[in-house]
Structure 1
Amino acid sequence: MSPHSDRTRLIASATRRGQGRRPVNPPIERASTMLSDTAGAMRDGAAGPVYGLEGTTAARELRAALADLEGGGQAFLVPSGLASVTVPVLALTRPGDEIVTTDAVYGPTRRFLSRYLASRGVTTRFLPAGADADAIIAAIGEKTRLVLMESPASLTFEMVDVAKVAAACRSRDVLTVLDNTWAAGLAFKPLAHGVDVSVQALTKYAAGHSDVLIGGIVANEARLIRAIGDAIEDMGWHVSPDDAWLTLRGLRTLPLRYAEQGRSGLRVAQWLQARPEVARVLYPPLPGSVGHDLWARDFTGAASLMGVVMKGGDAAAGRRFLDALSLFGLGYSWGGFESLATHETHQMAYRDHPTPLEGELIRFNIGLEDPADLIADLERGLAAFAG
């Protein structure tokens, strides 16, 4: 492996020599049919893809860069972040198997587990959102085939001792899949901590400009790579060359954007925590927040996504808060260059084990705007919430 940092390697892979005169970024090749010079060459994979479904230059370079970033043997691309979770789960489980996860799993992932997968004979055990490593390990039973983790978790940002869970699962021949979108492949390396499969919504930080839907899957073991690759081939998943190109371009600047947004995120979180209207800020990099000790031990950086639990209020107050903001966009997703806000209290109703909150739950993605301007905007929102 290269001795260089992630920041350097993500750019060095674009400027490597020995390929003749060429543009910095690969060309966008829109193709379904790939032509060969001879009949004998038509099945020769060494000459490049034999059909457009296999992915052209931009997709292949993005896969290589993603595998290198996450320290994996192979990376795959799928059309959305949700698909990056569902594909390995489908590939690695069979009817009669059980999956263990927590209530805090990403909402659409939960829907997939409870609706699609359950109807095909794969059951899921949902533990309380705050279940620690010992509780997750204790829940592993004879039928458990896979443990699905997010750390930090969706909406309430609980952290898990991933290495401890992964080691216990490996000793029991149970597979682990970790949604690594919050860490973006930068701040935490799941495979290096014993996880079998790392997935992330490249839609978020990797692409970084809120204009692409795409997911990434990375694994090391040959048997897992083969199973995931076969599933993608059998289901016909494909990422367009334009989306692969846009994501590859975003990936080059990922470390700089991620670090800057993390710095702004911490500044905004500290300000919010000091406000009398706020009960808690759910942001692991913030001292005293949920999961801070595990974040400080295992992570080398921070995303800028956080939850804010208000002191009381109701749905109308939450809407007033959001409506008073002028710099925060009101829209789902996160990880892009722009700041976003969403009202998330209603999502708690889908959990099997209620998560106690002191008031309304607001989620913020802190973008690349000046944090002082964002804080002034939030002050207006807090006044509207209280009013």
Structure 2
Amino acid sequence: MDLSWILNHLGEDREQYFGAVAPPIVQSSIFAFPTVASMRTGFRDELGNHVYTRGNNPTVEILRKKVAALEGAEDCLMFGSGAAAMSAAAIACVSGGDHVVCVAKPYSWTRAVLKDLLGRFGVSTTFVDGTEIANFESALTERTRLIVLESPNSMTFEQQDLAAVAALAKARGIRTLCDNSYATPLNQSPLALGIDLVAHSATKYLNGHSDVVAGALCGGAVLIREVFRGPYMTLGAILAPHDAWLMIRGLRTLPIRMERIAATTSHVLAFLEAHPRVRRVYSPRAHGNPQLGLSERQLHGASGLLTIELDAADVAAVERFCDGLERFLMTVSWGGYESLAFPVCAVYPADAQLHPPPGLSLSLVRLSIGLEEPEVLIADLDAALARL
């Protein structure tokens, strides 16, 4: 199945809705049945039938089919956020007394669900440096039921050898879950490498327009149905039909957006790596990345997310740089059409030290490259760096 078919036609049965090229938004919370028998059948399989939009909605179903096909998965569930997708997957895979192994620096809400929420119910988690397979192996116990990965992560971009971790886990009957938000299904295929479940903050590149918060979870049909019957239906963190429709529209341009973003990022990356006021650039494609070989082997293409460590004397200098940016919007998240900047120092008090132990350096600024011209972004960064 080719990419253009998935994005433009898969799941869109136009004969069912008057030949409309764009699918309709089925803005209905409930669906009626002609007989008791047909209603009974619907209740027995709410994932495969339209009973209640909390379970399965026709517009959301089109999106599910597209995202599943992009990931090479048998099925997909769409959620109201990426955090909901990761949380549902983790909750479905463990019980009280079980053990989880997770990479050391996951997304903050992934850490929260493992350590704070599941920890309250007797699930323990060991956080390990995921750059070495030996660290996973040494952390496993007889109670380990899940390994949580994020490759690359979304701040300093450490990766895991997904095929090696999957092989280790399968040999011991342990499930694996990977956050693939950075790479997108176009640039990394965790399921093909043996990973069981793949999650996305679909808010980012999959939607790509900074107007929808969404999450996706992809995997085998049996496992996805298990998640559906459990935390998906129980917790109700669903994606609304209108948001699904916006995401379908956003997906149409995913390949050309990612191609343009990658091309621009390569120019910005080269500029930043050569600038004397940038101590280090964190990116899977950076020349100084110790995992560059893994990037070339495991990632099919580049993304637009990178982090710079500024040569700053204090937090005030970092603020001068960020406040001087005119083409980068200062905000959270990433992966939209617009270029963004996220300073780590913004989450600390104004009088914080530049290197608070044991947290991230406050001289780090994450950049998300959008669809602007590279020379415009480079000129903006150059002018802001002069303010240091």
Q: Give the direction of change, closer, same or farther, for the CA distance of 1:379–1:205 in structure 2 (3 Å limit).
A: same
Moved more, 362-371 or 258-267: 258-267
- Counterparts of 1:323-338 in structure 2, within 5 Å, are 323-338=323-338
For residue 34 of structure 2, what is the amino acid of its counterpart? D
Matched, 1:382 2:385: yes
Matched, 1:35 2:32: yes
The percentage of counterpart residues that share the same residue type is: 36
Displacement after TM superposition at 1:41 (Å): 2.8
For residue 364 of structure 1, what is the amino acid of its counterpart? L
In 2, the alpha carbon distance for the partners of 1:178 and 1:200 equals 9
Displacement after TM superposition at 1:97 (Å): 1.0
Q: Give the direction of change, closer, same or farther, for the CA distance of 1:277–1:127 in structure 2 (3 Å limit).
A: same
- Counterparts of 1:10-89 in structure 2, within 5 Å, are 10-13=7-10, 21-45=18-42, 48-89=49-90
- 2:369 is aligned, of 363, 366, 370, to 366
CA contact (8 A) 2:11 2:65 kept: no
In 1, the alpha carbon distance for the partners of 2:53 and 2:29 equals 4
What residue in structure 2 maps to residue 210 of structure 1?
A: 210
Equivalenced residues, count = 377
Deviations 1:202-223 (A, max 9, x none): 110111111111100001152x
Q: Give the direction of change, closer, same or farther, for the CA distance of 1:290–1:60 in structure 2 (3 Å limit).
A: same
- Counterparts of 1:1-387 in structure 2, within 5 Å, are 2=1, 4=2, 6-13=3-10, 21-45=18-42, 48-128=49-129, 131-220=131-220, 222=222, 224-231=223-230, 232-344=232-344, 354=358, 360-384=363-387, 386=388
CA contact (8 A) 1:7 1:255 kept: no
Deviations 1:37-62 (A, max 9, x none): 33333334499402222232210000
Moved more, 27-36 or 193-202: 27-36
Contiguous gaps of at least 5 residues in structure 2: none
Q: Give the direction of change, closer, same or farther, for the CA distance of 1:347–1:133 in structure 2 (3 Å limit).
A: farther
| Residue aligned with 1:83, SS | helix
For residue 368 of structure 1, what is the amino acid of its counterpart? L
Tell me the TM-score normalised to structure 2 length: 0.91
Deviations 1:82-120 (A, max 9, x none): 111100100111111111112211112112222111111
For residue 381 of structure 2, what is the amino acid of its counterpart? L
| Residue aligned with 2:102, SS | strand
RMSD (CA atoms):
2.4
CA contact (8 A) 1:337 1:368 kept: yes
In 1, the alpha carbon distance for the partners of 2:207 and 2:78 equals 13
| Residue aligned with 1:154, SS | coil
Q: Give the direction of change, closer, same or farther, for the CA distance of 1:126–1:79 in structure 2 (3 Å limit).
A: same
CA contact (8 A) 2:200 2:217 kept: yes
Displacement after TM superposition at 1:160 (Å): 1.1
Q: Give the direction of change, closer, same or farther, for the CA distance of 1:158–1:7 in structure 2 (3 Å limit).
A: farther
For residue 369 of structure 1, what is the amino acid of its counterpart? E
In 2, the alpha carbon distance for the partners of 1:192 and 1:354 equals 36
